[in-house]
Amino acid sequence: MSNEAKAVKDQVNRCSKCGSCREVCPVFIEMNSEPWVARARVQLASAALEHQVDFSHRYKEIMESCLLCKACVAHCPNGVRVDKLVLWARQEAVKRQGLAFIKKVLLHNILRYNYRLDLMAKILAAYQATGIRLTPKDNLLPHFRTVPFRRLWHPKKLKKPSLVVAYFTGCMTQYVYHQTGRAVLHVLEENNVQVVLPEQWCCGMPALAAGDLQTARALAERNVESLTKAGVDYIITDCASCGEMLKGYGQLLGNDMARKFSGIVQDVSFFLVHTIGFRHPDKKVPLVVTYHDPCHLKRGQGTWAEPRKILAGIPGLTLVEMAESDRCCGSAGSFGFTHYDLSMKILQRKVENIRATGAQAVATGCPSCRLQIECGLKKADISMPVVHTVELLSRAYGLGMEGEAAC
Ligand code: SF4
Ligand code: SF4
């Protein structure tokens, strides 16, 4: 038995079938049917390991309906890594049957090439400018920028910086939320941190989540090589999903260079609080704000106190906690497109929890969550900006806040 198979078997054997995961799995709570809970996915992974399944449509449907939110992992008395089992099961399906045609085109022919992503963003921006909406799912599309962030905005050259960091912008800041990128540059410069923007590619999370290990590894190798060459103290990101993925490169590639790379990756909020101890701003931001914990930041990286410390350090800002702040918003990358109705149902609960706070704005640390919550608020006719935490800090340092709903 290979090491990988042994690791899968070990996780499967840990499951006592207690069913505690039923209390927290957002998918199960909406579907209320056993195949949609973590416990069933563990058993299905076990059957796949024993070659007792034929990777049918039903098998893939159940595995693909997992948000990888890790709520079950955090709640499981035996610490079963359901997320890892689901990823392994998806990879096995791809190994046996290959990728579906559309996924193959997106992952192999577009995601791996920056110039093709640039072109796609341009085409989508042009489509959006027409005002035509072909399907309701188009409302989930963010407002694409015609020029990518890294081509438009450049870090200032500081005289005597305390640290040098490479900013991994992620695709969402690159093509959609330029305001987050500007805030990150501004906040780091205000704290005397030199930012560099080396050549970089998608972190590979969409490929890994789709079971396409080959693309995930190819992108990881390129990022490790390019950002290592930059010779920086830290690698910073504003995206919870990118951060978790970059921190996992060491394990994904299994070499010293990748492990070293992963060791210096930090979420921007963690960096501001622990690594540099950010300068407390003096401008008031008179807002009542609630905070949504992205799954990939809280459970993926253990970062949840840091964004709150930043918000607490902003004069005039009041933080009101929403109920279930760390419950998944239902975004999970492409999940919102592939499981639109289910994703909207999960989102509804998040929107109700936000509404109940009476806050004036929502802060979060993941652009995918931001996009999803913006859509949910708009659907519910709630006029409330959703921003990245650093945008509020940047505003308290004096930069204006640019907010716009995505749909
Ligand atoms: S995954 Fe954990 S919580 Fe769920 S049934 Fe197994 S042991 Fe219980
Ligand atoms: S990761 Fe989230 S969606 Fe997937 S089984 Fe666990 S709780 Fe359910």
- Residue nearest ligand 2's atom 4 by CA: 66
Ligand 1 atom nearest the C-alpha of 16 is 7
Q: What is the pLDDT of residue 195?
A: 98
Mean pLDDT value across residues 219-224: 98
Final residue of a domain: which of 97, 115, 139? 97
Q: What is the pLDDT of residue 406?
A: 36
Helix (H) or strand (E) holding 165: strand 163-168
Average pLDDT, the chain: 92
Contact 117, 110 (CB under 8 A): yes
The Å distance, Cα 190 to ligand 2 centre, comes to: 39
Final residue of a domain: which of 65, 97, 129? 97
In angstroms, what is the C-alpha Rg of the chain?
21
- Say if residue 404's pLDDT is above 50: no
Pocket of ligand 1 (CB under 6 A): 15-21, 38-39, 42, 72, 76, 78, 80, 82
CATH number for the domain spanning 67: value is 1.10.1060.10
Q: What is the pLDDT of residue 407?
A: 34
CATH number for the domain spanning 307: value is 3.40.50.1860
Final residue of a domain: which of 97, 131, 153? 97
Ligand 1 atom nearest the C-alpha of 17 is 5
Mean pLDDT value across residues 186-199: 97
The Å distance, Cα 24 to ligand 2 centre, comes to: 8
Q: Identify the CA nearest to 345 among candidates 29, 24, 20.
A: 29
Residue 370 covered by a domain: yes
Q: What is the DSSP string of 201-245?
A: ---SHHHHHTT-HHHHHHHHHHHHHHHHHTT-SEEEES-HHHHHH
pLDDT tier for residue 211 given thresholds of 50, 70 and 90: very high
- Say if residue 332's pLDDT is above 80: no
pLDDT tier for residue 253 given thresholds of 50, 70 and 90: very high
Quote the strand ranges of 251-349, DSSP E. 265-267, 288-292, 318-319
Mean pLDDT value across residues 165-194: 96
Q: In this predicted model, what pLDDT tens digit does every residue of 112-149 receive, in sequence order?
A: 999 999 999 999 888 888 877 777 666 667 788 989 99
pLDDT tier for residue 51 given thresholds of 50, 70 and 90: confident
| Rounded CA separation 75/21 (Å) | 7
Distance spanning both ends of the chain, measured CA to CA:
49
| Rounded CA separation 315/312 (Å) | 8
Q: What is the pLDDT of residue 402?
A: 55
pTM assigned to the model = 0.93
| Rounded CA separation 87/247 (Å) | 17
Which tokens hold the place of 5?
Answer: 């198979």
Q: What is the pLDDT of residue 176?
A: 94
How many folded domains does the chain comprise? 2
Q: What is the pLDDT of residue 403?
A: 47
Mean pLDDT value across residues 309-329: 97
Other CB atoms within 10 Å distance of the CB of residue 102: 8
Residue 119 covered by a domain: no
Q: Which ligand is nearest to the CA of 20?
A: 1
pLDDT tier for residue 2 given thresholds of 50, 70 and 90: confident
Residue 93 covered by a domain: yes
Residue 187 covered by a domain: no
Q: What residues form DSSP beta bridges with 266?
A: 236
User: Three-state DSSP class for 331?
Assistant: coil
- Say if residue 345's pLDDT is above 50: yes
The Å distance, Cα 71 to ligand 2 centre, comes to: 6
Q: Identify the CA nearest to 98 among candidates 55, 58, 61.
A: 55
**Amino acid code (one letter) for 151:** R
Q: What is the pLDDT of residue 219?
A: 98
Residue 367 covered by a domain: yes
Contact 39, 15 (CB under 8 A): yes
Q: What is the pLDDT of residue 401?
A: 55
- Residue nearest ligand 1's atom 6 by CA: 15
- Say if residue 201's pLDDT is above 60: yes
Which tokens hold the place of 368?
Answer: 């995918």
Contact 246, 229 (CB under 8 A): no
Find the domain containing 46 and state its range: 3-97
Residue 41 covered by a domain: yes
- Say if residue 308's pLDDT is above 80: yes
Contacts by 55-60 with C-beta closer than 8 Å and gap 24+?
55/92, 55/93, 55/96, 55/97, 59/89, 59/93, 60/90, 60/93
The Å distance, Cα 22 to ligand 2 centre, comes to: 9
Residue 205 covered by a domain: no
Residue 344 covered by a domain: yes
| Rounded CA separation 243/203 (Å) | 9
